[in-house]
Structure 1
Amino acid sequence: MEQQPSILIIGHGSEHSPGPLVSACGHADRLMASGRFAEARVAFLMAGEDPRDQLEAMRARTIHVIPLFMCDGYYTRTVIPKTLGLQGPRTSRDGSLLIYRTPIGMHPGMAEILRLRTLETCHAAGWEPLGTRLMVIGHGSPKSSASAEITRRHAGEIRRRSEFLSIECAFIDEAPRIEDWLRDLPTEGPPVALAGFFAADGLHSSLDIPGWIEAWENRTGSRPGARVRYTGAVGADKRVTALIAESIATEIALQLP
């Protein structure tokens, strides 16, 4: 019987928030609990276990390297491959096959998880989805269109179902910026659900966005949570673990004779 594969989850990491560690370790723990993997380790490009050290300690014949990133940008195309010496999607090294997977945020199933989290937020608030504005928030970048493109793609998939009053996108680091959008949000109007398209509840997700919401509530005199609610970072959702396992199972199935 062939040895079970192992998994190395690599995130960006943060020196200011435990969110990235919580998100990555949550996925690793659930993947190990499934009984389908020999090992699941986590590593970070910043403030955490070094990816090179973690990979060096792994001995499985097949190791799936999972970028816990929302888009295929500089870190996933350049930094991680260079750090680990990857030579494309499949790299043979020291008796192991390293399979470098697509960033988890690119998985088509992420749109469904964003949608479900928004519906759950509406239900908890007592809002009718058809009367609720949905704003999908991505990181964005003035240097690359990758983040904005995948954010808009997932928003477009949700829009096809016509479940919400409107579906828009805003970003942290490019226009339209969510900070500016909230500053200009009128006092009166339909409720707004902000869906965080982030890998973890890091600095932006756990501090910046809640802080901007609070500033709007203070300025307008709105009761907290009465009109604007934030879903948190989608990348930490336990349903994302299933997407990771599903993508690996598909890869294995394609290799069967």
Structure 2
Amino acid sequence: MQALVIAAHGSHLNPDASDPTYAHADTIRETGAFDEVREAFWKEEPHFRDVIRTLESDEVFVVPLFISEGYFTEQVIPRELRLEQWDPNKWASDGTSASQATLEAGDVGKTIHYCGPVGTHDAMTDVIVQRAETATEDPDVGEGFGLAVVGHGTERNENSAKAIEYHTERIRERDRFDEVKALFMDEEPEVDDVTEYFESQDVVVVPLFIADGYHTQEDIPEDMGLTEDYRRGWDVPAAVDGHRIWYTGAVGTEGLMADVLLERAADAGAGIGEAREAVRELAGSPAKAVAESTSRTGTGD
């Protein structure tokens, strides 16, 4: 038997923080690829510390639903899972290339495949592009558009910016959008000044965050000038300094994220059959996704 554990941050303050985790877990369950699919959190129940001990499967694939490698993926999750053999060097990563490490949870006799975070997997590039398609309701969006990939940015974790820049460069190499740039909340170039960095009249802004919360639903919309008060919502697109800003909200709410979770597990040796094809079919309705997003945030045309 094989199990998938999706390890996410969760929140005591934002009741919606865990919604994407549960949604993606449900999507993967529908594929039947795993005998068990479980959610686990740092700030909510069920907790990291307990999840492996509740599984019947003897082979477990743990995929962190985090954007970058760092404190949580390299220290907190392995410690709480009690993976005593863990060492960050087992990933042999430069900050964006973590793959997987196979370890034994000796107290329960299970083989644990601890995978790199979803945010640095190559498949995340497709999710960012899909997010732009969802926001514009245009599967061919690109020509005449700029794309901004937005991250938090922080001096405490240089890998945070690396993940943003990595996917930005991959999208730029596709020559699909007229302009592609990485912007940040807490370092230069800042998302507050988004219109200064683009010549394109239409700019899609995709925040590389797992869940919608304080930053994506309050800080960024107000900082970009989409609205003076986030509680009143904003238009999509919104007119700002002669540009149309198509703000998407957190990339982690995109249905195609379930595909990245599957990709991580498959890279670690999980047998998933045709689950990826099923997930891509389930996630392939931009109109439905944007309707759900605008209903949740109170924004719309």
Query: In the alignment, does 2:107 pair up with 1:107?
Result: no
CA positional deviation for 1:97? 0.8
Q: 1:110 to 1:127 in 2, by over 3 A?
A: closer
Given candidates 208, 226, 235, the residue that maps to 1:197 is 208
CA positional deviation for 1:202? 2.6
Q: 1:253 to 1:84 in 2, by over 3 A?
A: closer
Q: Determine the structure 1 residue equivalent to 2:90.
A: none
Q: Determine the structure 1 residue equivalent to 2:250.
A: 233
Q: Which runs of 5+ in 2 are unaligned?
A: 87-100, 239-243, 272-301
The residue identity in structure 2 corresponding to 1:244 is L
Query: Contact conserved, 1:122 with 1:129, CA < 8 A, in 2?
Result: no
Q: 1:191 to 1:80 in 2, by over 3 A?
A: same
User: How far apart, CA to CA, are the structure 1 residues paired with 2:181 and 2:258?
Assistant: 26
Query: In the alignment, does 2:151 pair up with 1:151?
Result: no
Query: Contact conserved, 1:9 with 1:43, CA < 8 A, in 2?
Result: yes
Query: In the alignment, does 2:73 pair up with 1:59?
Result: no
Moved more, 148-157 or 32-41: 32-41
Q: Residues 192-230 of structure 1, C-alpha deviation per residue, up to 9 Å, x if partnerless? A: 2101111122321233223334x35559xxx93241121
3-state secondary structure, aligned to 2:4: strand
TM-score by length of 1: 0.84
Q: Identity over the aligned pairs, expressed in percent?
A: 30
Query: Contact conserved, 1:137 with 1:170, CA < 8 A, in 2?
Result: yes
- Structure 2 counterparts to residues 9-24 of structure 1, below 5 A: 9-24=6-21
Q: 1:218 to 1:129 in 2, by over 3 A?
A: farther
Q: Determine the structure 2 residue equivalent to 1:252.
A: 269
User: How far apart, CA to CA, are the structure 2 residues paired with 1:127 and 1:207?
Assistant: 29
Q: 1:216 to 1:199 in 2, by over 3 A?
A: closer
User: How far apart, CA to CA, are the structure 1 residues paired with 2:22 and 2:126?
Assistant: 22
Q: Determine the structure 2 residue equivalent to 1:92.
A: 104
Moved more, 68-77 or 9-18: 9-18
Which structure carries more helix by proportion?
1
The residue identity in structure 2 corresponding to 1:41 is R
CA positional deviation for 1:165? 2.1
3-state secondary structure, aligned to 2:143: helix
User: How far apart, CA to CA, are the structure 1 residues paired with 2:202 and 2:111?
Assistant: 49
Q: Residues 45-84 of structure 1, C-alpha deviation per residue, up to 9 Å, x if partnerless? A: 1234211122221121011111000111111011111111
TM-score by length of 2: 0.73
Give the aligned length.
Answer: 243
Q: Determine the structure 2 residue equivalent to 1:210.
A: 221
Q: Residues 64-117 of structure 1, C-alpha deviation per residue, up to 9 Å, x if partnerless? A: 111000111111011111111222322212111111111011110111221222
CA positional deviation for 1:122? 3.5
The residue identity in structure 2 corresponding to 1:192 is V
Q: Determine the structure 1 residue equivalent to 2:68.
A: 71
User: How far apart, CA to CA, are the structure 2 residues paired with 1:234 and 1:128?
Assistant: 16
Q: Determine the structure 2 residue equivalent to 1:139.
A: 152
Query: Contact conserved, 2:41 with 2:47, CA < 8 A, in 1?
Result: yes
